[in-house]
Structure 1
Amino acid sequence: MANLKLHRATVKKVGAAVHQHDGGSKAGMLERAFTFAFRGLVYAQIWEDPVVDMEALAITPDCHVVTIASGGCNVLSYLTADPARITAVDLNTAHVALGRLKVAAAQHLPAAAFHRFFGEADSRSNVRVYQDLLRPHLDAVTQRYWEGRDLIGRRRIRGFASNIYKRGLLGSFIGSAHLVARLYGIDPREILAAETIKEQRRVFETRLAPVFDKGFVRWLMDQPASLFGLGIPPAQYAALSNDDPGGIRAVLRGRLEKLACDFPVGDNYFAQQAFGRRYAPGAGRSVPPYLEPAHHADIAARAGRIDFLHANLAEHLAGLPAATRDRYILLDAQDWMTDAQLNALWREITRTARPGARVLFRTAAAPTLLPGRVDDALLDRWQYRAAESLDFTARDRSSIYGGVHLYVLKG
């Protein structure tokens, strides 16, 4: 019963954000199908590059950061910049539960156990560690989530005994993509053996790229529901499709090409998750900043500065005093929004922002989506850092977004 309440809470909040059409229309049915898919864990790992984020945000020790939580990786990684406070909100109760678990683990696990729990996430000992060392420090709602069962009857906490990164909506999507590739005799892990960028490109062009020309794959990509596993609702699918004259197939091929060819795979944990479904093993591997051993002491000491809340971002901001927040990270949530929702959000961001505040967000398509949609009087309060945004977009190792955008409050 408790798990059902959690699911209903997620569906209600996600539905309020996503539903833009009547439920009887084709668009409305797709939106409701997305809401149904989004009710459980979506991202075991967030897919925005925290290194780019922290450079763009220029976090200082007096900053109060407000962000959408997603998988929580970036929330904890921002602690390496030593902010005063981080408030992480999410519409999805599973993401909130994952974030709270990470905070408890950072505070109460030795470094080796913390890295085994989230960096490897495939040891039976992790379940015992949860029971003995983490459970006593979790609130009742978070306990119920991890001790409950998923749709096929598996205890959720056991995901950390069998590679949590293969679970969730995105993990299942990546697994399905691997399965389709193998049907055509291709193992996506081949690219992880490449020792140079040149070799990565050869593998991409000769092994991975031809899959996009297969009839079944072309048909799949033309179905908006096929990308629900990436957390892409129908409105965002439309924006993505329009980002290239070649349509959705050209866009997806281009994004995969960037992931496969623009950065050394050994230094890109996003590529390792996409092509290998885990972080690469061994010392010196690429992992999110919060999992880097050199940062563990700081993460442990600062984890208490984070609050994870099950909330709508605009509604959360509406309850805050004016001029009290410094950094805002919106991920790609604005791609989901109507003009009315965008204006409501930016009114609250502008009202709660201190002088010099920064807003960072991503879009499925390349351009910033705010001009012409957010009221000019609001948007004129902010400076769009166009050149910097293009540079951040080029250097974002996750490679799945068309644009990374930075706005700075004037004055």
Structure 2
Amino acid sequence: MRVPAVLSGFGIAPSQRARLGAGRPLQEVLHERLLRLIERHPEEVNYFAWQALARRYPGPGDRGLPLDLQRRQFARMRNGAGVIIPVHAGLLEFLRGLPAREVDAVALSHSHDWLNLEAIRTLWDAIDRVGSERVCVVFRTAGAESPLERAELATLRESWRRDDERSAVGFELDRGAIHGGFHCYLRR
């Protein structure tokens, strides 16, 4: 657990390592999250655990597959594919090209773990411009805490509030289990 290359093999970048356990020993944090991966969701829908532990899906048929890979979803996926517009741009560039107040939802995955405070501020300024009055922004973090709750980003909280209830539900539903936090923010 002390070798950065081993951690990178697990998909844990140096920028995430510091946030993972808020100072707790890494082996304790990873053990806790491994148990969460295995125990939180039923085996038949826990495709992250199957991939992490067996490097395959359980089968046969659609058993244990994510919805987008299930045969019974094929027609729906094929018929909905036309609404997807591929964009070859970074997120910030993409957001800056959108009209103001046009976006109702933004999913940022775990991008905050990779950004410094100024980059987070810049990203949220762009989201603030394009987000509708009812916009919902979700993201995960390696640690439990949201970077938006840091004192250095207090000005962002003048426009945004963390929805603790939705964040808790999102955390419980997250089958990936490696993340320590799930955060849902709404416009004030």
Alignment TM-score > 0.5, same fold = yes
Closer, same or farther: CA 382–277 of 1 in aligned 2, 3 Å = same
2-structure distance, mates of 1:402, 1:241: 8
Partner of 1:401: 179
Partner of 1:335: 113
Q: Is the 8 A contact 1:362 1:402 kept in 2?
A: yes
Partner of 1:326: 104
Number of matched pairs: 188
1-structure distance, mates of 2:69, 2:57: 11
Partner of 2:2: 222
How big is each residue's C-alpha offset from its partner over 1:194-215, in whole Å with a ceiling of 9 and x where there is no partner? xxxxxxxxxxxxxxxxxxxxxx
Q: Is the 8 A contact 1:350 1:378 kept in 2?
A: no
Q: CA deviation at 1:248?
A: 0.9
How big is each residue's C-alpha offset from its partner over 1:36-62, in whole Å with a ceiling of 9 and x where there is no partner? xxxxxxxxxxxxxxxxxxxxxxxxxxx
Partner of 2:30: 252
1-structure distance, mates of 2:126, 2:152: 12
Select the structure of larger CA radius of gyration. Answer: 1
Closer, same or farther: CA 374–302 of 1 in aligned 2, 3 Å = farther
| Equivalent position to 2:74, from 296, 302, 309 | 296
2-structure distance, mates of 1:275, 1:282: 18
- Normalised to the residue count of structure 1, the TM-score between the two structures is 0.43
Q: CA deviation at 1:313?
A: 1.2
Closer, same or farther: CA 233–284 of 1 in aligned 2, 3 Å = closer
Q: Report the AA paired with residue 409 of structure 1.
A: R
Partner of 1:358: 136
SS in 1 for 2:178: coil
1-structure distance, mates of 2:19, 2:7: 13
1-structure distance, mates of 2:176, 2:116: 26
2-structure distance, mates of 1:276, 1:265: 12
Partner of 2:19: 239
Q: CA deviation at 1:251?
A: 0.8
2-structure distance, mates of 1:352, 1:374: 23
2-structure distance, mates of 1:311, 1:248: 35
| Equivalent position to 2:162, from 364, 384, 408 | 384
Q: Is the 8 A contact 1:342 1:374 kept in 2?
A: no
Q: What is the correspondence of 1:20-31 to structure 2 with a 5 Å cutoff?
A: none
Question: Is there any run of 5+ residues in structure 1 with no aligned partner, and where?
Answer: 1-220
Closer, same or farther: CA 359–275 of 1 in aligned 2, 3 Å = same
Q: Is the 8 A contact 2:95 2:127 kept in 1?
A: yes
Q: Report the AA paired with residue 296 of structure 1.
A: F
Q: Is the 8 A contact 2:37 2:176 kept in 1?
A: yes
Q: What is the correspondence of 1:69-80 to structure 2 with a 5 Å cutoff?
A: none
| Equivalent position to 1:344, from 118, 122, 145 | 122
Q: Is the 8 A contact 2:140 2:180 kept in 1?
A: yes
Q: CA deviation at 1:284?
A: 4.5
Q: Is the 8 A contact 1:317 1:349 kept in 2?
A: yes
Q: Is the 8 A contact 1:224 1:237 kept in 2?
A: no
Q: CA deviation at 1:374?
A: 5.9
1-structure distance, mates of 2:20, 2:100: 35
SS in 2 for 1:281: coil
Q: CA deviation at 1:373?
A: 5.5
Q: Report the AA paired with residue 370 of structure 1.
A: L
Q: What is the correspondence of 1:122-271 to structure 2 with a 5 Å cutoff?
A: 221-242=1-22, 245=24, 247-271=25-49
Structure with a larger share of its residues in helix: 1
Q: Is the 8 A contact 2:148 2:154 kept in 1?
A: no
Q: Report the AA paired with residue 100 of structure 2.
A: A
- Aligned residues: CA RMSD: 1.8
